[in-house]
Amino acid sequence: MATQSSPLQILFFPFLAQGHLLPLADVARLFALRGVKCTILTTHANVTYIEPIINQTNKFLDGKNEAHLVRISVSLISFPSAEVGLPDGVENASDASFPEIGQKFFQACSLLEKPFEQLLKEINPDAFVSDTFFTWSADVSARTGIPRLVFNGRGLLARCAQEKLLHIIESLPVDTDKFVIPGLPHQLEMHRAQFMFPLKNKEILPIVKRNSEMDARSYGEITNSFLELEADYAVHWHEVVGRKAWLIGPVVLCNEELIEKSSRGGVNTSIVTKELVQWLASKRSGSVVYICFGSLANSNISLEQIIQIAIALEESDRDFIWVVKSSNQDGYNDWLEGFEQRMHKEKRNLITKGWAPQLLILNHPAVGGFLTHCGWNSTLEAISAGVPMITWPMAGDQLFNEKLIVEILNIGAAIGVKEDPYLEKRQLIEAETIKNVIESVVGEGIEGEAMRKRAKELKKRAKAAVQEGGSSYTDLGNLIEELIARRNTV
């Protein structure tokens, strides 16, 4: 056990997906900047995603030359691909999108329990932070006596709504399309069709419920949000749900340097970034629409729907950047090649394949709107950049994040998705609808102007929250002090 004079030591174990690795690496950076000794545990293939964050943090810490600051270290754990029949190199959820591969991937993750416990005993930290998907880490905490802090990667509105929904979803009447989640600070009306996948797939609900139960057994949750964004739900979480949470975000605001924004995700992006910066610099302020559905969500969009998005963009007068993904859908590659060729001739549009430096794009003054799947990371990145959103949620917490963006914060407009993404045949949203919603956000009308004004004000509040004396800065300090006090009394 550490002495009272030694720094607090925390081990971080993010889930093996880019949308989980990056924010938890940001969290580790925040702790390291406050004098905590941080170790990030991951697999060999996933180090590349978080290396830019770690290297920039350690470079900054070295430059401070202060004895109480400790460099972030990385510890590696072997991923048991062979044991479950996965191909070599499949160690990230983005490489496991097919159902049979995805099932094996989660099976492999469950086999990490024993080696994780052994490494935990060797490192012997004062606490560890593990992703909610590593439910078994709650049992490891109980066996070792080392407190577990949960990183869920979602906002508190979504967390509160999910906890309520778990109690009512199986009893939803089959003859009603809409329902209101009871007992929340706001009236959140949802469509029953949005939750057909967990209703039909009887294996999903028990898993989600077990996650909730294991999280409730833990010391508390680290939440990537800030009080001014979700004040009502912070109160609800503490007083009604009855569980601890520390709001320390938006953690993405620790990435202010240009090199971090352009290299985030561990991809060699110098050529892509240079082209993007030059292209954006040629555009007028607020004129560009940025379209990205996240690292995993694109697989849920049919080619027919993608074509409607393309028609909307092509027929509009708006410049746009569209991050497109690879797809096995018949005809997709031929269509994409033709679309790229037409857009290249116009030179008012930029299409990038697979990845783009999202932080850099959103923070550029030329960007005026973000068509997004409403993943929590993307939502916070847009809020932190002061960019209003066009919302197109796919599943899970994204449905609740849309409610926050459109109905509570009023910094976006909904495309109108009302169905579960896993339905074989989904409602097709026509190009005209897509174009009109984009225009309502980015256009010169009163509605869009009001959204942009509110988004810019929220950006100021987000930055104030993480600065010294702000709500997130204070909450992080309170957590560190609580963990030190616990260590010193054990």
To which H or E segment does residue 306 belong?
helix 303-315
User: How far apart, in whole angstroms, are the C-alpha atoms of residue 184 and residue 476?
Assistant: 26
Q: Which two tokens stand for residue 87?
A: 């191909």
- Whether 20 is catalytic: yes
Angle at 392 between CA 164 and CA 413, to 5 degrees: 95
| β-pairing verdict for 178-180 and 189-191 | antiparallel
Q: Which two tokens stand for residue 24?
A: 């938890």
- Whether 344 is catalytic: no
- Tell the burial category of 282 from Cβ atoms under 10 Å away from its Cβ (0-12, 13-18, 19+): exposed
Q: Going along 102-181, which residue ranges are E strands?
A: 127-131, 148-151, 178-180
User: How far apart, in whole angstroms, are the C-alpha atoms of residue 2 and residue 5?
Assistant: 8
User: How far apart, in whole angstroms, are the C-alpha atoms of residue 72 and residue 393?
Assistant: 35
The answer for residues whose C-beta is within 8 angstroms of residue 363's C-beta and 6 or more apart is 261, 385
Query: Dihedral sign, CA of 230, 132, 245, 10?
Result: negative
The answer for residues whose C-beta is within 8 angstroms of residue 404's C-beta and 6 or more apart is 155, 157, 158, 230, 379
User: How far apart, in whole angstroms, are the C-alpha atoms of residue 216 and residue 210?
Assistant: 10
Cβ neighbours of 99 (radius 10 Å): 8
> Do 323 and 356 contact (CB within 8 A), yes or no?
yes
The answer for residues whose C-beta is within 8 angstroms of residue 330's C-beta and 6 or more apart is 303
CA trace torsion 46, 52, 54, 57 (10° rounding): -170
List 26, 126, 131, 420, catalytic entry: 131
Using the CB atoms, write b or e for 181-205: b if 16+ within 10 Å.
Answer: beebeeebebbbbbbeebbeeeeee
Could you tell me which of 196, 356, 393 has the C-alpha nearest to residue 272?
356
Give the active site residues: 20, 131
